[in-house]
Amino acid sequence: MAATRADGLRDEQTARAIAGWAEHDAARALHGVDRDVIRATEAARSLVVEHFAPTAPARDLFNACARLGGLMAEGGASPSLAAGTIDSAVRALGEVGAPVDESRVAAARASLFEGYVAAVRDGERTAALAAWEWPACAIPLGEDLVAIACGFPTDDGDALAAWAGRLAGKLVKAKVRRAILAGDERAKTEVASAVDLVGIEVVNELPVVPRRTDSPEAKSWLRLPWRK
């Protein structure tokens, strides 16, 4: 006799529902990454199926859906796949005779897509912050001198201080001894404090290199056409 789970579904019934869900999603997949994500999220899908039972707490279902949405976004699934996957789940559950509380479907769909969008937003924010890490935020100006763009996009003082600390560590490893800072005053202050602790001097302008007046280049600025 097949074992019955706490959600009222038999193990065999649950397995068929998950497999059917994956098949329905695969039929709508836009590319190979979608299909890879479908395979990689089987465990999360199993949790959603478990909590779709009418006897399961609604909050558990919505949390499971949000978690699945986040995993789909992290795996690179298309928005089209994420938007329709709950409908695929409901269809698969119906095909195996599993009871579904229809009043929860819309909220489950919304929870999954909220999880998907949140993960995309977090990924984009992480990428934006990474663009201000060393060496992307610096321009070498000599053997031991760099200009640093202090534009780390955050209002969080702790995050700003952590960035400045990481930057100072990278500058030491790069054997930088002097730095010109430009950008947001708060960020400049944090970087100045961090680099001072590791012995890097903050300078306000590029050093002026004296021009030799006896060089051929200096003497040739004015040439008369009849002289050679």
162: number of CA atoms within 13 Å, CB side?
9
Closest CA to 13 of 103, 109, 94: 94
Radius of gyration of the chain (CA): 30
Task: Look over the chain and give the mean of its residue pLDDT values, rounded to a whole number.
Answer: 88
Say if residue 117's pLDDT is above 90: yes
What is the Cα–Cα distance from 154 to 132, expressed in whole angstroms?
11
What is the DSSP code (8-state) at residue 8?
S
Mean pLDDT is lowest, of 44-53, 118-127, 198-207, for: 198-207
What is the Cα–Cα distance from 181 to 151, expressed in whole angstroms?
10
Domains and CATH numbers, the chain: 11-123 (1.10.274), 138-203 (3.40.250.10)
Length reported for the chain: 228
Q: What are phi and psi of 30, to 5 degrees?
A: -90, -25
Reduced to 3 states (helix: H, G, I; strand: E, B; else coil), residue 174 is coil
Mean pLDDT, to the nearest integer, of 160-165? Answer: 96
Mean pLDDT is lowest, of 106-115, 137-146, 217-226, for: 217-226
